């Protein structure tokens, strides 16, 4: 019976909608999730630490090259308010300028996101494919993996 409960828990986010979260893009645009992602399928690569953030580019770059509607979201709510601008400035320098409007720094809603994504390890990125109405179609936790990327692309094409 315990195995069944664990299995059901791991599937709980599928079909559920993204919880509300607030932040801003690297261009300074205020962002409210899930509103900013509604209307078309999208992929979001989430990071909850600097270490995870350094691993997101391996996910984002090939998806952007394949013209996937991809976003990066760094959860910085736990950082003191006075250093958040420095964190954003560092992220701006490290990210290609054309991607700045697709890079969100989330400052409110971390706890709900952690629960929704079932975060177990802050040191890895979390990847979600969301449908046009914000429901989860696919997800993965971990560094870039070729097999997972192929599955993501297969599901992306289905969602179009």
Torsion sign (Cα): 123, 22, 10, 159: negative
Residue 86's pLDDT is what? Answer: 93
Q: Which of 96, 56, 61, 60 is nearest to 74 (CA)?
A: 56
Q: How much is the pTM?
A: 0.88
- How many whole angstroms separate alpha carbon 92 and alpha carbon 137? 29
Neighbours of 97 (CB within 10 A): 9
Q: Which of 55, 40, 28, 44 is nearest to 124 (CA)?
A: 55
Residue 8's pLDDT is what? Answer: 33
Q: How many domains does the chain have?
A: 1
Q: Which of 24, 3, 131 is nearest to 75 (CA)?
A: 24
Enumerate residue ranges in the chain where pLDDT < 70.
Answer: 1-15
Residue 13's pLDDT is what? Answer: 52
- Whichever domain contains 123, its CATH number is 3.40.30.10
Domain extent at residue 56: 2-159
């Amino acid at each position: 019976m315990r195995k069944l409960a664990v299995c059901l828990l791991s599937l709980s986010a599928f079909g559920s909608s993204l919880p509300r979260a607030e932040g801003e893009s690297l261009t300074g645009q205020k962002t409210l999730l899930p509103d900013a992602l509604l209307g078309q399928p999208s992929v979001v690569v989430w990071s909850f630490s600097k270490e995870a953030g350094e691993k997101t580019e391996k996910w984002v770059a090939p998806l952007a090259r394949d013209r996937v509607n991809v976003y990066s979201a760094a959860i910085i709510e736990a950082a003191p308010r006075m250093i958040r601008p420095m964190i954003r400035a560092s992220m701006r320098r490290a990210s290609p300028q054309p991607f700045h409007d697709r890079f969100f720094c989330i400052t409110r809603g971390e706890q709900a996101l952690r629960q929704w994504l079932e975060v177990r390890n802050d040191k890895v990125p979390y990847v979600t494919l969301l449908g046009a109405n914000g429901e989860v179609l696919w997800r993965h936790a971990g560094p870039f993996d070729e097999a997972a990327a192929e599955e993501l692309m297969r599901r992306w094409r289905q969602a179009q």
